[in-house]
Amino acid sequence: MVETPQFNVLEHNLVPEHRLLSDEEAEAVLAKLKISKDQLPKIRKNDACIKVLEKISHTDIKEGSIIQITRKSKTAEVAVAYRLVRG
C-alpha cells in the first residue's frame, strides 16, 4: 500500500504542474484532440503527484479522471500534456 507522500512533490522545481480537470474540461480536451480517453497516456492512481493532489484538494481522484500536466520548456515555452488516471 502506498502512503501519502511526506512532502508536497508538486512544489519541487523539477516536477511540472499537475491539475485535475473537471468533467467539462476533460470532454472539451478530448473533443479538441479528437481522441477517446483510452488513447491518452496513463498515470497510476498511486503516483506521488496524484496522492498529493488528492491531499491538497481533499477529494478522491477516481480512475478515469484526466490530469493536465503543464511543463515549462525552453523551446516551446509551455508544453501541456494529459494523462488518464488508472488503478
Residue of higher predicted confidence among 5 and 31: 31
**pLDDT value at 2 more than 70:** no
- Highest CATH level, class, for 12-85: alpha beta
What confidence tier does 23 reach under pLDDT thresholds 50, 70, 90? very high
d(CA 45, CA 30): 20
Q: Convert the chain into a string of H (helix), E (strand) and C (coil).
A: CCCCCCCCHHHCCCCCEEEECCHHHHHHHHHHHCCCHHHCCEEECCCHHHHHHHHHHCCCCCCCCEEEEEEEECCCEEEEEEEEEEC
Please provide the average confidence, as pLDDT, over all residues in the chain.
91
Question: So what's the pLDDT on residue 87?
Answer: 87
For residue 11, pLDDT over 80 is answered with no
CA-to-CA distance for 70 and 34, rounded, in angstroms?
A: 20
**Average of pLDDT values for 30-48?**
97
